[in-house]
């Protein structure tokens, strides 16, 4: 940044905090541009597999960083900023992008070079954010991307003329084919040595006069004159929030400027967009050449079918059915394989270690615990392959377009639909998928209700209880009471999710109704490499974060179920020994201690133990029931021995412990209760992490538990009143 021009607006540097960049020899590059410009593909082409995904501190905007090596061996770090149409900071993504570029983001120095990714087939709209960034006083390189699709659409951009107009380097790229990447890297090298870009249009005199005092306040507050000029223009349309909040006198001067402009006959809110688009029109006129006929595009023809009044929703439902079905059926063999693998490792470790507590810790605690996390991986990978594919092709925006009216009924955005649907497979990927929802409150409301969708981990619980207690009676000739009960459980969860989301949006997460202004991007074939990279990011994120927390908690759970040791009476079966051992453990005693709490629901202490043990993962309920009823902890939901035990179980007075009513009440409890440590861990992370995330996760756990308990109580007590007793 040693170059300084003598112009009145553009010189070096930024806000005063921009120092640390000079301390490292490493070159820092930030990638920015409109959504759907192929920015992420370009990022992947630049950095390859060397990437790290995280969050910006305090917010849930995804922070993607990567690096590549220069010919001289030193590293270049690349930050992939969120896609933005402007730096107006009307969304969290835009605010992040602006603060990073200004060097005001915590723990992130200002970039040394900004690479602006511009879609050659839509230069006009893309130039808006370009015109704002040119005024930040940073070295800029333009990557004119997707020149191939532009050419196919009959659009040619004169990159030499564009470079002349903008006074920055322009490199033509086709990121999907890796074209232009080397040239781009050389341009990045040179960028810092070239004169800094500056505002390339003049403001009309009344506008120039009106913003002068606003600029002065910003310069006074430590902003560089060039940055201050850009911010002052921006403030005509919006209130000083985010990094501009709390600057004394700023809003007052901005308001005076607006008044002065209105008196001079300008629309103050629109004037920045008008002067920028006025300049853009001249640039486009000089650089964009159209050839061939502008007939209906491929996207128009596809949308005529996919957004058709009748076929559109039908195709959408069909697609969702395929996604949903494959999460269940395709994942099944993979999950079985993972289970087998975990079992195999467990056996191997079991035979290698001497009998005793260490073996129990390794096999029943660590390996089984980690296995219970890894088991979700196939579903996550499959779901994100689909979501990634739908996003990359451009269909995701169409899905939101079709579903928006429906979701609006409960105060949500069309984009909330897919995460909620994903919740049927597993809440973890569903919650991770909420990242496509732009508005923080909508996103939080969606995260709160996704776990109400009955996930696949509830299936073993439903199957055991329905198979044992609900008779397979035919209903209305074609339906079966067992199947209808299962359907009722899914319906109950879904209806509750919609109702609760509506309540949250009207109370806790109330806010001005959010706009649904969304581009419907042209359809594209997805880039396989980018798709696989995205999926592996998500999978890695899940394994790392959820894995560490689950790992710790399963060990705790194991210890609670193992200690203190009970002297087992000789010559009883293995199963009976396990039962006695569990009853004497802390977990078993806790179950007996909570009996007064679960008694009103009709449950005894054994069910209490099973519920407590399944707080980490719902399906553990079945294994614990197996242990308690002495048929061994490897019992599963189809185990005949376990079913017979449950039916035969009586209390001291000889009346059966389990009735169909209790089974239904128990299932209702599982429909609503948040019993999954993986989900808790992901909610902590996705709601902001740290203490803030813990509070949201705890809140969610509590309201879901209260809902579960009340619903189970109503079902049981109501059932008794209606005469459905034993």
Partner 1 sequence: MSRTLVSIQPGESARVASVGGEAGAARRLMDLGLIRGTPIRVVRVAPLGDPIEVSVRGFMLSLRRAEAEHVVVD
Would you tell me which residues interact with partner 1 (CB under 8 A)?
85-86, 88, 90-91, 121-122, 124-125, 128, 237-239, 267, 269-270, 272-274, 277, 299, 303, 307-310, 312-313, 397, 400-402, 404-406, 408, 512-513, 515-522
Task: Tell me how far, at minimum, the Cβ of 270 lies from partner 1, in Å.
Answer: 6
The nearer residue to partner 1, 339 or 404, going by C-beta atoms, is: 404
Task: Tell me how far, at minimum, the Cβ of 394 lies from partner 1, in Å.
Answer: 10
The nearer residue to partner 1, 314 or 508, going by C-beta atoms, is: 314
The per-residue b/e assignment along 292-312, b for 16 or more CB within 10 angstroms, e otherwise, is: eeeeeeebeebbeebbeeeeb
CA dihedral (680, 682, 688, 691) in degrees, to 10, reads: 40
> What does the DSSP 8-state code read for residue 676?
B
CB of 688 closer than 8 Å to CB of 696: yes
Task: Tell me how far, at minimum, the Cβ of 265 lies from partner 1, in Å.
Answer: 13
CA-to-CA distance for 407 and 334, rounded, in angstroms? 33
Residue in the block written with tokens 């808790």: 680
CA-to-CA distance for 426 and 454, rounded, in angstroms? 8
CB of 629 closer than 8 Å to CB of 573: no
Q: How far is CA 359 from the centre of its chain?
A: 38
CB of 674 closer than 8 Å to CB of 706: no
The nearer residue to partner 1, 90 or 566, going by C-beta atoms, is: 90
The nearer residue to partner 1, 309 or 544, going by C-beta atoms, is: 309
Residue in the block written with tokens 């209760």: 673
CA-nearest of 617, 613, 621 to 560 is 613
Residue 77: phi, psi to the nearest 5? -95, 140
Task: Tell me how far, at minimum, the Cβ of 105 lies from partner 1, in Å.
Answer: 22
CA-to-CA distance for 141 and 197, rounded, in angstroms? 10
Task: Tell me how far, at minimum, the Cβ of 690 lies from partner 1, in Å.
Answer: 27
Task: Tell me how far, at minimum, the Cβ of 596 lies from partner 1, in Å.
Answer: 50
Task: Tell me how far, at minimum, the Cβ of 300 lies from partner 1, in Å.
Answer: 8
CA-nearest of 213, 707, 277 to 500 is 707
The nearer residue to partner 1, 406 or 563, going by C-beta atoms, is: 406
- The answer for residues whose C-beta is within 8 angstroms of residue 650's C-beta and 6 or more apart is 656, 657
183's enclosing H/E stretch is helix 181-191
- The answer for residues whose C-beta is within 8 angstroms of residue 370's C-beta and 6 or more apart is 342, 547, 550, 551, 554
Task: Tell me how far, at minimum, the Cβ of 133 lies from partner 1, in Å.
Answer: 13
The nearer residue to partner 1, 224 or 413, going by C-beta atoms, is: 413
Task: Tell me how far, at minimum, the Cβ of 173 lies from partner 1, in Å.
Answer: 20
Task: Tell me how far, at minimum, the Cβ of 206 lies from partner 1, in Å.
Answer: 17
Task: Tell me how far, at minimum, the Cβ of 210 lies from partner 1, in Å.
Answer: 18
Task: Tell me how far, at minimum, the Cβ of 688 lies from partner 1, in Å.
Answer: 21
- Partner residues linked to 118 by β-bridges: 144
CA-to-CA distance for 518 and 11, rounded, in angstroms? 36
Task: Tell me how far, at minimum, the Cβ of 466 lies from partner 1, in Å.
Answer: 35
Most distant pair of Cα atoms in the chain: their distance: 99
The nearer residue to partner 1, 258 or 458, going by C-beta atoms, is: 258
Task: Tell me how far, at minimum, the Cβ of 98 lies from partner 1, in Å.
Answer: 13
- Which three-class secondary structure state does DSSP give residue 521? coil
DSSP per residue over 51-113, as a string?
Answer: EEEEE-TTS--EEEEEEEE-TTS-EEEEEEPPP-S-SS--SHHHHHHHHHHTT-STT-PPPSE
CA-nearest of 696, 708, 676 to 554 is 676
The nearer residue to partner 1, 339 or 519, going by C-beta atoms, is: 519
The nearer residue to partner 1, 239 or 358, going by C-beta atoms, is: 239
Cis peptide before 564 (omega within 30 of 0): yes
The nearer residue to partner 1, 242 or 632, going by C-beta atoms, is: 242
The nearer residue to partner 1, 281 or 572, going by C-beta atoms, is: 281
- The answer for residues whose C-beta is within 8 angstroms of residue 584's C-beta and 6 or more apart is 564, 565, 566
The nearer residue to partner 1, 210 or 612, going by C-beta atoms, is: 210
The nearer residue to partner 1, 208 or 311, going by C-beta atoms, is: 311
The nearer residue to partner 1, 518 or 549, going by C-beta atoms, is: 518
The nearer residue to partner 1, 287 or 482, going by C-beta atoms, is: 287
Task: Tell me how far, at minimum, the Cβ of 60 lies from partner 1, in Å.
Answer: 19
CA-to-CA distance for 270 and 253, rounded, in angstroms? 18
CA-to-CA distance for 466 and 600, rounded, in angstroms? 22
Task: Tell me how far, at minimum, the Cβ of 280 lies from partner 1, in Å.
Answer: 8
Task: Tell me how far, at minimum, the Cβ of 475 lies from partner 1, in Å.
Answer: 32
CB of 682 closer than 8 Å to CB of 545: yes
CA-to-CA distance for 518 and 414, rounded, in angstroms? 11
Q: How many residues does the chain have?
A: 726
CA-nearest of 133, 157, 682 to 446 is 682
Task: Tell me how far, at minimum, the Cβ of 307 lies from partner 1, in Å.
Answer: 6
- Which three-class secondary structure state does DSSP give residue 286? helix
CB of 14 closer than 8 Å to CB of 138: yes
CB of 600 closer than 8 Å to CB of 713: yes
> What does the DSSP 8-state code read for residue 311?
H
The nearer residue to partner 1, 65 or 272, going by C-beta atoms, is: 272
CA-to-CA distance for 336 and 323, rounded, in angstroms? 20
The nearer residue to partner 1, 303 or 637, going by C-beta atoms, is: 303
The nearer residue to partner 1, 155 or 677, going by C-beta atoms, is: 155
- Which three-class secondary structure state does DSSP give residue 290? strand
> What does the DSSP 8-state code read for residue 656?
B
């Amino acid at each position: 940044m040693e170059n300084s021009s003598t112009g009145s607006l553009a010189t070096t540097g930024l806000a005063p905090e921009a120092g640390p960049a000079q301390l490292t020899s490493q070159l820092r590059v930030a990638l920015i541009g409109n959504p759907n410009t192929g920015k992420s593909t370009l990022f992947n082409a630049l950095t390859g597999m060397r990437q790290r995904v995280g969050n910006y501190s305090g917010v849930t905007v995804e922070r993607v960083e990567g690096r590549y090596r220069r010919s001289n061996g030193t590293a270049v770090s690349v930050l992939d900023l969120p896609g933005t149409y402007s730096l107006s900071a009307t969304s969290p993504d835009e605010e992040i992008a602006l603060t990073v570029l200004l060097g005001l983001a915590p723990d992130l120095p200002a970039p040394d070079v900004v690479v602006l990714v511009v879609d050659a087939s839509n230069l006009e709209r893309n130039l808006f954010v370009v015109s704002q960034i040119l005024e930040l006083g940073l070295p800029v390189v333009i990557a004119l991307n997707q020149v191939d699709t532009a050419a196919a659409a009959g659009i040619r951009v004169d990159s030499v003329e564009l470079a002349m107009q903008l006074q920055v380097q322009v490199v033509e790229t086709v990121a999907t084919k890796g074209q232009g990447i080397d040239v781009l890297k050389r341009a990045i090298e040179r960028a810092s040595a070239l004169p800094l870009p500056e505002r390339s249009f003049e403001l009309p005199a009344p506008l120039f006069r009106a913003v002068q005092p606003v600029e002065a306040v910003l310069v006074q507050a430590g902003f560089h004159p060039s940055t201050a000029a850009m911010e002052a223009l921006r403030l005509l349309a919006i209130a000083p929030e985010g990094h501009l909040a709390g600057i004394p006198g700023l809003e007052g001067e901005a308001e005076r400027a607006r008044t002065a402009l209105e008196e001079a006959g300008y629309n103050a809110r629109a004037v920045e967009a008008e002067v920028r688009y006025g300049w853009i029109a001249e640039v486009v006129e000089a650089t964009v050449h159209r050839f061939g006929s502008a007939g209906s595009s491929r996207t128009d023809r596809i949308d005529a079918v996919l957004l058709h009044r009748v076929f559109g929703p039908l195709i959408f439902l069909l697609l969702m059915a395929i996604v949903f079905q494959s999460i269940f059926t395709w994942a099944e063999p993979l999950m079985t394989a993972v289970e087998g693998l975990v079992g195999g490792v467990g056996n191997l470790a079991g035979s290698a270690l001497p009998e005793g507590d260490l073996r129990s810790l390794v096999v029943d605690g660590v390996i089984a615990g980690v296995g219970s996390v890894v088991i979700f991986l196939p579903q996550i990978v499959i779901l994100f392959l689909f979501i990634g594919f739908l996003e990359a092709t451009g269909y995701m925006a169409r899905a939101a377009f079709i579903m928006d009216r429906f979701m609006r009924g409960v105060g949500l955005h069309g984009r909330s639909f897919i995460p909620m649907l994903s919740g049927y497979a597993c809440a973890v990927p569903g919650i991770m998928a909420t990242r496509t929802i732009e508005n923080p409150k909508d996103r939080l409301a969606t995260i709160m209700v996704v776990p109400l969708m009955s996930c696949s981990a509830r299936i073993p619980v439903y199957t055991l209880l329905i198979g044992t207690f609900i008779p397979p009676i035919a209903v209305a000739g074609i339906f079966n009471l067992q199947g209808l009960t299962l359907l009722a459980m899914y319906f109950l969860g879904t209806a509750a999710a919609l109702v609760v989301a509506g309540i949250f949006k009207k109370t806790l997460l109330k806010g001005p109704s959010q706009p649904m202004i969304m581009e419907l991007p042209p359809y594209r074939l997805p880039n396989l490499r980018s798709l696989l990279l995205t999926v592996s990011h998500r999978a890695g994120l899940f394994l790392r974060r959820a894995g560490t927390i689950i790992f710790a908690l399963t060990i705790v759970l194991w210890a609670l179920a193992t200690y203190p040791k009970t002297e087992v009476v000789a010559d009883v079966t293995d199963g009976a020994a396990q039962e006695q051992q569990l009853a004497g453990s802390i977990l078993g005693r806790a179950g007996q201690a909570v009996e007064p709490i679960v008694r009103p629901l009709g449950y005894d202490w054994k069910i209490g133990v099973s519920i407590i043990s399944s707080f980490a993962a719902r399906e553990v309920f079945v294994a614990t029931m197996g242990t308690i009823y002495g048929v061994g902890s490897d019992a599963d939901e189809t185990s005949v021995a376990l079913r017979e035990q449950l039916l035969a179980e009586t209390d001291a007075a000889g009346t059966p412990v389990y009735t169909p009513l209790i089974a239904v009440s128990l299932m209702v409890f599982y429909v609503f209760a948040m019993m999954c440590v993986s989900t808790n861990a992901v909610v902590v992370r996705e709601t902001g992490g740290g203490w803030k995330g813990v509070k949201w996760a705890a809140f969610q756990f509590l309201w879901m538990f209260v809902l579960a308990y009340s619903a189970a109580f109503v079902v049981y007590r109501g059932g008794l009143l209606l005469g459905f007793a034993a």
